[in-house]
Structure 1
Amino acid sequence: MITVRSVAAAAIPLLGSALGYAKPNACSGVCVNTHDPSIIRRDDGTYFRFSTGGRIAVHSAPDITGPWSYEGAALPAGSVIDNPGNQDLWAPEVVKVGNTYYMYYSVSTFGSQVSAIGVATSPSLDMNTWTDLGAIVQSSTGSPFNAIDPSLLNADGQFLLTFGSFWEDIHQVPLADPAAPATETPHQIAFDPVTTEEEGPALFHYGDFYYLFYSKGKCCGYDTDRPTTGGEYKIMVCRSSSPTGGFVDANGMDCSNGGGTVVLESHDNIYGPGGQGVYDDPAHGPILYYHYVDTNIGFADGDKQFGWNNIDFSSGWPVV
């Protein structure tokens, strides 16, 4: 994730008191230094966790609770994309379409719009099986978006890539197939004109709605530059009956004009949760997973922990 400013988030409606947030569920094994995780469960029941850094660090476990073990780098040679940052890959997203796994990842540097979203494929999720196919969306200085933080949704055969960070916030573009470079101009689906600090989208279909989860606020560097209280990362949501737009918050406010409802924010010893994904887990049901800082351990980026919570959608809005 990119952060370029440290300003407090705009006032946004809450579903409940911060004191009502559940603490993260159990995690054992390697749960630290997990930034921008992506979770997927293979058919044999093995869980895989992909995260920022280490040329996409890969961990596996028999259950989402762990114990998590380090497997290696998904792309040990870095990305084939010839951009700055191609050895320090960010914010992976791994999905399965048919019999193939697709891993989307970001190539960029902090504070830069010279960015790209790449894709690699694997038949199994095993180490040394990923084929890097290069960029499918790119941005440059002056582009109306920033091509990082990808999330793919298969909406009944329509492949939608949702992405973005700052620079007009969150955008979406259709793909002809999961590995095809985008040919259409991305369109904006979420934007805050006051803070412009929205990034890391995760689009999730549940029941009658498509839920757009995203992170808002300052993501990183809390050990040296902590923002004003409330300006740190938090997880937001908007929803729509369409996957391509019309997202509103729980108060009906347009999320392309500052709307957004808090799902999870700092509470107790949990600080700056974000970099989230959402997964309908076959064993645990719908879950929200993310990274966070445990204030009892440390505020450095390398201290970020893996967290996950069950999601209750019974009100029509996600509650953890």
Structure 2
Amino acid sequence: MVLLGTLILGFIPLLGSVLGYANPKACSGTCTNSHDPAIIRRADGTYFRFSTGGKIAIHTAPDIAGPWTYRGAAILSGSSINLPGNQDLWAPDVTLVGNTYYLYYSVSTFGVQNSAIGVATSSTMDAGSWTDHGATGVRSDSSKPYNAIDPNLINVDGTYYLTWGSFWKDIYQAQMKASPLTLASGVSSYQLAYDPATTAVEGAFVFKYGNYYYLFYSQGKCCGYDAGLPKPGEEYKIKVCRSTTATGGFVDKNGVACTRGGGTVVLESHGNVYGPGGQGVYQDPKYGPILYYHYVDKTIGYRDGDKRFGWNTIDFSSGWPVV
């Protein structure tokens, strides 16, 4: 009976991993107002969460699980970029460069290609401490193959690259200056991911683990679920490709190029979790690598304002991320 019980207990977690996805881990405090979250931990142990809306809302907590407390807006006066949407900033991304935090954000309006990526800096990340520097040089209009939103910065052996993009021809990247306020002189952008079947690809995040760079991104319809749900499977989900370099050659688990519609699902709707996306990955000193994202809890509501903060630990033991 002891052996049988051991076998049954050992089978339960395996069954869960085969039949579904892990639910989001605990979150306390303010767990809404978390569309397109960006997570970083300050040296004093304080976690910061930045999110779309409210001129980039700032929340802090003593642990990734909370309790999260609203602290105010990052870009108090809105962006200095002269485009529609410069008072309603999207999709923040935050990185520590030397002793300075760089906060990248999007200036756009829904469904248009007239967009730009801006940047602000701070030495503490506290509300009221951010200096807006405006345009990074990444801008789009109808002449471009991409939409200049959803920025993500990565440091590759001392060289910085900014990845961005949404719909049209999806995800692009270019090199930044050594102090990454603007694009490096004379550089051209290049495509990292494209799905010609939907073009609904955005929110890329490049993360290095082991010998690989992993390109996480969101695919599907992100928003407006309270006005009408998309067809099953067409809502937001998180996918991934990987490469041995950060600047291209990304393929999915089946070897299909990410520029030709490839992409392996990491997390999608399950149970009461609907439309997870807007993700990032963080190497947490306590929990190890974590995937963080927003999602709708079906038991709470489908409005964009109901989007909740979700996070899970990631297992890379197979060479591919599993939550």
TM-score range, shorter chain: over 0.9
**In the TM superposition, what whole-angstrom CA distance separates every residue of 1:219-257 from its partner, at most 9, and x where no partner exists?**
000111211000000000000001000000000001100
The match for 1:187 is: 190
The match for 2:142 is: 141
Runs of 4+ in structure 1 displaced over 4 angstroms? none
The match for 2:170 is: 169
Residue 261 (str. 1) matches residue 264 (str. 2): yes
Query: Are the counterparts in 2 of residues 115 and 138 from structure 1 also a CA contact under 8 Å?
Result: yes
Structure 1 unaligned residues grouped into runs of 5+: 1-15
Cα pair distance change 1:73/1:18, threshold 3 Å: farther
The match for 2:110 is: 110
Tell me how far apart the structure 1 counterparts of residues 267 and 18 of structure 2 sit (CA, whole Å): 8
Q: CA deviation at 1:17?
A: 6.9
Tell me how far apart the structure 1 counterparts of residues 202 and 271 of structure 2 sit (CA, whole Å): 24
Residue 316 (str. 1) matches residue 319 (str. 2): yes
More helix as a share of residues: 2
The match for 1:201 is: 204
Query: Are the counterparts in 2 of residues 113 and 142 from structure 1 also a CA contact under 8 Å?
Result: no
SS at match of 1:128: coil
Tell me how far apart the structure 1 counterparts of residues 182 and 194 of structure 2 sit (CA, whole Å): 26
**In the TM superposition, what whole-angstrom CA distance separates every residue of 1:89-119 from its partner, at most 9, and x where no partner exists?**
0000001011000000000001111100001
Query: Are the counterparts in 2 of residues 18 and 266 from structure 1 also a CA contact under 8 Å?
Result: no
SS at match of 2:227: coil
Larger Rg: 2
Q: CA deviation at 1:18?
A: 7.4
SS at match of 1:248: coil
**In the TM superposition, what whole-angstrom CA distance separates every residue of 1:14-52 from its partner, at most 9, and x where no partner exists?**
xx9773310000000000121000000000000000000
Tell me how far apart the structure 1 counterparts of residues 143 and 274 of structure 2 sit (CA, whole Å): 33
Query: Are the counterparts in 2 of residues 150 and 161 from structure 1 also a CA contact under 8 Å?
Result: yes
Q: CA deviation at 1:289?
A: 0.1
Q: CA deviation at 1:278?
A: 0.3
Q: How does 1:1-320 map to 2 (within 5 A)?
A: 19-136=19-136, 137-177=138-178, 178-183=180-185, 184-320=187-323
Tell me how far apart the structure 2 counterparts of residues 33 and 51 of structure 1 sit (CA, whole Å): 7
The aligned amino acid for 2:81 is I
Query: Are the counterparts in 1 of residues 135 and 182 from structure 2 also a CA contact under 8 Å?
Result: no
SS at match of 2:215: strand
Q: CA deviation at 1:140?
A: 1.2
Tell me how far apart the structure 1 counterparts of residues 230 and 47 of structure 2 sit (CA, whole Å): 34
The aligned amino acid for 1:85 is G
Q: CA deviation at 1:142?
A: 2.5
Tell me how far apart the structure 2 counterparts of residues 90 and 36 of structure 1 sit (CA, whole Å): 8
SS at match of 2:213: strand
Cα pair distance change 1:24/1:210, threshold 3 Å: same
Tell me how far apart the structure 1 counterparts of residues 18 and 234 of structure 2 sit (CA, whole Å): 15
The aligned amino acid for 2:40 is I
Q: TM-score, normalised by structure 2?
A: 0.93
The aligned amino acid for 2:167 is F
Tell me how far apart the structure 1 counterparts of residues 151 and 231 of structure 2 sit (CA, whole Å): 28
SS at match of 1:223: helix
Q: TM-score, normalised by structure 1?
A: 0.94
**In the TM superposition, what whole-angstrom CA distance separates every residue of 1:239-277 from its partner, at most 9, and x where no partner exists?**
000100000000000110000000000001000000000
Tell me how far apart the structure 1 counterparts of residues 290 and 212 of structure 2 sit (CA, whole Å): 16
Q: CA deviation at 1:283?
A: 1.2
Query: Are the counterparts in 1 of residues 175 and 183 from structure 2 also a CA contact under 8 Å?
Result: no
Q: CA deviation at 1:182?
A: 4.7
Query: Are the counterparts in 2 of residues 269 and 296 from structure 1 also a CA contact under 8 Å?
Result: yes
Comparing 132-141 and 82-91, the one that deviates more: 132-141
**In the TM superposition, what whole-angstrom CA distance separates every residue of 1:53-99 from its partner, at most 9, and x where no partner exists?**
00000000000000000000001110010000000000000010110
Query: Are the counterparts in 2 of residues 135 and 181 from structure 1 also a CA contact under 8 Å?
Result: no
